[in-house]
Amino acid sequence: MTDPARSDRGSAQLRRAVASSFLGSVIEYYDFLLYATASAVVFSQVFFTHLDPLVATVASLGTFATGYLARPLGGLLFGHFGDRLGRKRMLVLTMVLMGVASSLIGLLPTYEQIGAWAPVGLVLLRVVQGVAVGGEWGGAVLVSAEHATSRRGLWASFTNAGAPCGMVLSTAVLTGSSAVLGEEAFLDWGWRIPFLLSVVLLVLGLFVRLKVAEPGLFQDARPTRRAPLVDVLRNRPRQLALGVGVGLAAFVAQSTLTTFVLAYGVQAGFSRQVVLNAITVSSVTAVLGIIGWSALSDRLGRRPVVLVGALAMAAYSFVLFPMVDSGSSALLLVALVLGQGVIHPMMYGPLAALYTELFSTGSRYTGASLGYQLAGLGGGLAPVLFAQLQSSGAGTTAIAGTITAFCALTVGCVLALRETSGQDLAEVAEPAVEEGRR
């Protein structure tokens, strides 16, 4: 018979865990995606003023990519200690690390003040941001998923929903600063304000996060005798590889819709504010899309939802850029809402629960983080690749074809994975269970 008091405590902890994961994700991605927006519209004019404008944009997006390159390192580092010492401690550390790095970006001298040391400092702080967000995601998802006794897709998805909320917040603060101060003052010093606000968000996030208890599933688990990474590579290599493939297209599409389209839309004749407004609206709809499609994946399964999303994104990629090139603000808005708010969440939302379900408790933080962050490399490299394709004279059809190729990879990996939505997290076996050995 279930103890009502214990059930109430469990429900209260689940609510705290979900709220903490969502708020922490909002804060982390506010900082991480604030850099993405700034790299597209500000940094080329502040830290790369000695370069040709198009080359400066590529270089600025290149520093954006370094954050994604550092994310797997963060996943491994915090995943290891998260599996050994607990999820909560690592989540506190990642939040502090991100808040400090973002605040320092806001204090960083420009190229005109210290020369080449300015972009070097920018890259180093971006690496720290990448390490922090790489360790954040896995712990935040696990705290929610391991507290949940049902509807794991729904509860875990709030961590992923924090990403577009962070985008809305960062875009609103950045554009608000630009509108209030004016272009000249904004480029001179106003762009620093959104980064310095990270200190306020850090205090708020820590207040909520410190109230969350360690999941009972982790406390009851027998720790693996091997290093968690060794456990993942030895016992779950197939799941890791397929997990990376499943997530790649989602990240390529995400950075296309939130970073590359910003620079492309401005080049196509839209004002920066019009494109940012469209991205903000589409980010709001993405929150609903992520939660809605993830909840549906509890009913239909992770595989069908992600599969349909990947196929839809492949087709949509060929109409995205013609809609932007139309010059119509309405079509631009429709294009981004459809892409970021409807199609992309089908691919992205269920990933939180799916990665959790692929690994055993003793190495879940490491495995889920590594799979997700390796897939995330696609998000960092795609804008750089697309900017280079554009500068070489390749048309948008080549960009759409590249997106489609990533979607095809995701489709293949989804089909190769077995359904995980009915998996009891406490019963994910430590030894590998390969379909071919059954």
What's the rounded Cα separation, in Å, for the pair 385 and 422?
Answer: 38
Please say if the pLDDT value at position 430 is more than 70.
no
Max CA separation in the chain (angstroms): 71
Nearest to 20 by CA among 134, 162, 195: 162
Please say if the pLDDT value at position 3 is more than 60.
no
**How far are the Cα atoms of 178, 207, 209, 221, 282 from residue 202, in angstroms, in the given order?**
23, 9, 10, 31, 26
Residue 433 has a pLDDT of 40
Q: The pTM is what?
A: 0.84
Where in 349-433 does DSSP place strands (E)?
Answer: none
What's the rounded Cα separation, in Å, for the pair 388 and 398?
Answer: 11
What's the rounded Cα separation, in Å, for the pair 148 and 166?
Answer: 24
As a whole number, mean pLDDT of residues 354-368 equals 91
* Angle in degrees, CA 377, 379, 382, rounded to 5: 100
What lies within 8 Å, CB to CB, of 66 at 6+ separation is 123, 126, 127, 130, 380
Lowest mean pLDDT among 87-101, 115-129, 224-238: 115-129
Structure tokens at 421: 């939505």
**How far are the Cα atoms of 92, 134, 326, 358 from residue 235, in angstroms, in the given order?**
29, 22, 51, 11
pLDDT top residue among 304 and 430: 304
What's the rounded Cα separation, in Å, for the pair 111 and 415?
Answer: 49
Please say if the pLDDT value at position 343 is more than 90.
yes
Q: Taking the CB of residue 361, how many other CB atoms lie within 10 A of it?
A: 23
DSSP 8-state assignment for residue 189: I
Residue 189 has a pLDDT of 80
Please say if the pLDDT value at position 5 is more than 70.
no
Lowest mean pLDDT among 52-56, 117-121, 198-202, 303-307: 52-56
3-class secondary-structure state, position 415: helix
Structural domains present in the chain? 10-213+226-433 (1.20.1250.20)
pLDDT top residue among 57 and 22: 22
- Quickly state the pLDDT bin for 428 (edges 50, 70, 90): low
Q: Which amino acid belongs to residue 391?
A: S
What lies within 8 Å, CB to CB, of 149 at 6+ separation is 10, 14
What's the rounded Cα separation, in Å, for the pair 130 and 72?
Answer: 8
Percent of the chain whose pLDDT exceeds 90:
34
Average pLDDT taken over every residue of the chain: 84
